């Protein structure tokens, strides 16, 4: 599954939240998405009109998060575009071979699912206020970083 980073200098006015009692992520305000990219029990919501990732949502119990020291790399504001033909209304699994692990840093408040180690040829793009996606040099999604508001 390939992605394209589009540097636009703009981000969506959306905020990722983590609902402690529900043990889940959700975006606020809600956005319309009709393609989902599944990672573990979480989803990246994609709008088929422009094929851009709009939100991150789903179940992720804090008990499954590994403690780590997390500081995302510098990122540019922009969009993350899903490349290829994907039918609206369906979910496509990204982590088919091995479920991605989740990490959390209590000090910084950052959550990361995927590979938290950032390399100099990775591309990091901030797509909403408190969410960064990282794509590697083969244009595959490597990780999703969220600094959620806990509710």
Q: Residue 12 has what pLDDT?
A: 85
Question: Does residue 29 have a cis bond before it (omega within 30 degrees)?
Answer: yes
Work out the angle at residue 55's Cα, subtended by the Cα atoms of residues 139 and 95, and round it to the nearest 5 degrees.
Answer: 45
Work out the angle at residue 97's Cα, subtended by the Cα atoms of residues 103 and 116, and round it to the nearest 5 degrees.
Answer: 25
R_g of the chain computed on alpha carbons:
14
117-139 pLDDT tens trace: 999 999 999 999 999 999 999 99
In the chain, the N- to C-terminal Cα span, in Å, equals 32
37-47 pLDDT tens trace: 999 999 999 99
């Amino acid at each position: 599954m390939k992605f394209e980073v589009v540097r636009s200098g703009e981000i969506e006015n959306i905020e990722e939240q983590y609902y402690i009692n529900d043990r889940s992520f959700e975006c606020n305000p809600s956005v319309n998405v009709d393609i989902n990219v599944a990672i573990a029990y979480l989803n990246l919501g994609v709008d088929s009109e422009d094929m851009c990732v709009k939100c991150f949502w789903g179940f992720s119990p804090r008990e499954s998060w590994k403690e780590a020291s997390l500081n995302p790399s510098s990122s540019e504001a922009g969009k993350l575009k899903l490349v290829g033909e994907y039918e609206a209304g369906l979910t496509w699994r990204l982590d088919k071979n091995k479920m991605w692990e989740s990490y959390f840093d209590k000090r910084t408040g950052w959550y990361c699912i995927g590979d938290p180690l950032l390399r100099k040829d990775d591309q990091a793009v901030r797509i909403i206020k408190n969410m960064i996606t990282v794509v590697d040099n083969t244009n595959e999604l490597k990780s999703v970083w969220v600094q959620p508001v806990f509710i």
